[in-house]
Structure 1
C-alpha cells in the first residue's frame, strides 16, 4: 500500500541555511500554526509539513501509524533538501509525537529536536476512539466548536486575535476521514519505553494552561530522556507557536544554537 503523501511548505529562509523542520498539531495547517514563528527564527531555512488531509497534504483512505507517518515525512524532506544535511526538528502536539518517532528511529539525521505541547503518549486509546466515533456520526463541527477551549490558554481565550480565530475556522476544511485516521494513529502511539535510548538533544516545551499535554507530563518525559531539558511558557495552551511565537522562538533558538556549538 502506498504511504501517506506529505506536502512540504517553505515557511522562511533560503537554500544554504541550516534546516529546521516544523510539524503541526492535529486539526491545523502548518502554515497557519508556524508562519509567524518561522519568520522570527532567524538564520534558518524553515520547512513545514502537513498531516494527511490537512493543508496541502493529500487525504488518506486507509489507517496508518505514527512510525509510517514519520517515515513519509523524512522521505519528503530528503527529497527536498537531500540526505546529507543535518536536520533540526520542532513539532507541536501530533507534530511533536512525529518528532519523537523520528529521533528514536532515525537519530543519525537530527542534530537537535524540540517537542511543544506534546508527549510520548497523548491521552488514551479510548479518548481517541470516542473522538473518531463523534466525527463519524456528526462530522468535524462538534470538534471545531470545542477546539478553542482545548487549544488556547486563558490569555487568548480572553482576547482572541485574527490568527486564533482563523485556526479554528480552518478546522472545518480538513478531510474528516483523514482526521479520523490521525486520531487512530494517536490512539496507538506510545514511545515511553524508548525515551531512555534517545541520543538526540531534546527540548520539551509545555504551556502552563495546556490541559491536553500538561507541564507535569512533559517534566516526566524529560526525567526519562537522557540529557533532555524542559521549559514552561506562561499563559500558553496547546498551540505554542501560534499563541506566543516570540517566546517559542527564543527557546528554540537557544536550544538549536547550543547544540550547533558542540
Structure 2
C-alpha cells in the first residue's frame, strides 16, 4: 500500500505492475475496500498496470474532512485522476462497481478525454431513491456501521456465492463495520443526489455495462436503463451473481475485461 495527500486528506492506494503496460483504474463499491479486486490481480497484472484505492473513510483512507458536509461524484473522479497522475499516465481504462460505477459515469460525462474505456458494473444512472439513501445516512449516524452491516452486507452477494463461501458475509460485515460512519453517510447522501440520465448522451468513450442476475441493489433493469441513457450496448448480465462480481466470480469477470479491453 501507498498513500497520497490530496486536498488535505490521505488516500490509501496500490499501484501494481509494469509501468510500460496500460493503466487500469479500479473503483470499489460502497462499504467495501480495494480488497474486492485482489482475486482478479493475478489475471490482470500480466496485461495491465493496476491502480486501486480506498474511498473516503473506507479501508485505510482518511475520513472526509469535518469542514465539508458534502461529497460529490466530481470529488471522487478527481481522486481517480490525481492517482492516475502518480502513474504518469494521461489516459487510462476504468472499471467501477456500484458507487464506483457512479465515479465512472462522472469521468465519462466530464473527463472523457482521460479514458481509454469504461466498464461499469452493478450501477445505474439513478440508484434507488433520495429518501432511501437519506434514511440510510441518518441510520448510520445514529446506529453506526457495525450495527448497519448486519442487514446491508447480505444484500451484496447472490445465494451461490454465500453457499460456496460460508464466511463471506461475516468477513465483509467486519470490514464494513470498521469504516467511518460520517464518510459513509455522506456517500449515501451523494448517491441520493446522483442522476446521470441527461449527462451521458455526448461521449466517445468505449463503454461496457455488466450486472448480476441476483443483484437486489442494482437489478438488471437498472443496467438496461443506463444503457439507454449512455448509448452503451445491451448490458451483460452474469447468472447467479449478485452485486459484486469481482468477489463472486473474479476469474470470469477478469476474462471478460481482458477480452473486452483487447
TM-score by length of 1: 0.90
Residue 152 of structure 2 corresponds to residue 144 of structure 1:
no
| Among 72, 86, 90, the residue aligned to 2:79 | 72
2:156–2:215 contact (8 Å) kept in structure 1: yes
| Among 16, 19, 32, the residue aligned to 2:20 | 16
The offset of 1:251, in angstroms, is 1.3
> Distance in 2 between the 1:98 and 1:111 partners?
15
| SS of aligned partner of 1:108 | helix
Alignment gaps of 5+ in structure 1: 258-262
| Among 78, 81, 88, the residue aligned to 1:82 | 88
1:45 alignment partner in structure 2: 49
Say if 1:225 and 1:201 are closer, same or farther in 2 by CA, change over 3 A: same
| SS of aligned partner of 2:230 | coil
| Among 28, 31, 35, the residue aligned to 2:32 | 28
> Distance in 1 between the 2:214 and 2:237 partners?
10
1:148–1:157 contact (8 Å) kept in structure 2: no
Q: How does 1:170-189 map to 2 (within 5 A)?
A: 170-189=175-194
Say if 1:3 and 1:210 are closer, same or farther in 2 by CA, change over 3 A: farther
1:209–1:236 contact (8 Å) kept in structure 2: yes
1:3–1:68 contact (8 Å) kept in structure 2: no
Say if 1:7 and 1:149 are closer, same or farther in 2 by CA, change over 3 A: same
Q: Bigger CA drift: 139-148 or 221-230?
A: 221-230
Say if 1:35 and 1:230 are closer, same or farther in 2 by CA, change over 3 A: same
| Among 123, 130, 137, the residue aligned to 2:135 | 130
Q: Deviations over 1:102-160 (max 9, x none)?
A: 11111111111101111112111111111011111111123210133210001022233
> Distance in 2 between the 1:43 and 1:96 partners?
22
Say if 1:16 and 1:162 are closer, same or farther in 2 by CA, change over 3 A: farther
The offset of 1:255, in angstroms, is 1.5
| SS of aligned partner of 2:117 | strand
TM-score by length of 2: 0.90
2:120 alignment partner in structure 1: 115
Aligned residues: 253
Higher helix share: 1
> Distance in 1 between the 2:211 and 2:137 partners?
26
> Distance in 1 between the 2:95 and 2:74 partners?
17
1:256 alignment partner in structure 2: 261
| SS of aligned partner of 2:198 | helix
| SS of aligned partner of 1:212 | coil
> Distance in 2 between the 1:106 and 1:138 partners?
37
> Distance in 1 between the 2:140 and 2:125 partners?
25
Residue 207 of structure 2 corresponds to residue 198 of structure 1:
no
The offset of 1:39, in angstroms, is 2.1
Say if 1:4 and 1:116 are closer, same or farther in 2 by CA, change over 3 A: farther
2:122–2:212 contact (8 Å) kept in structure 1: yes
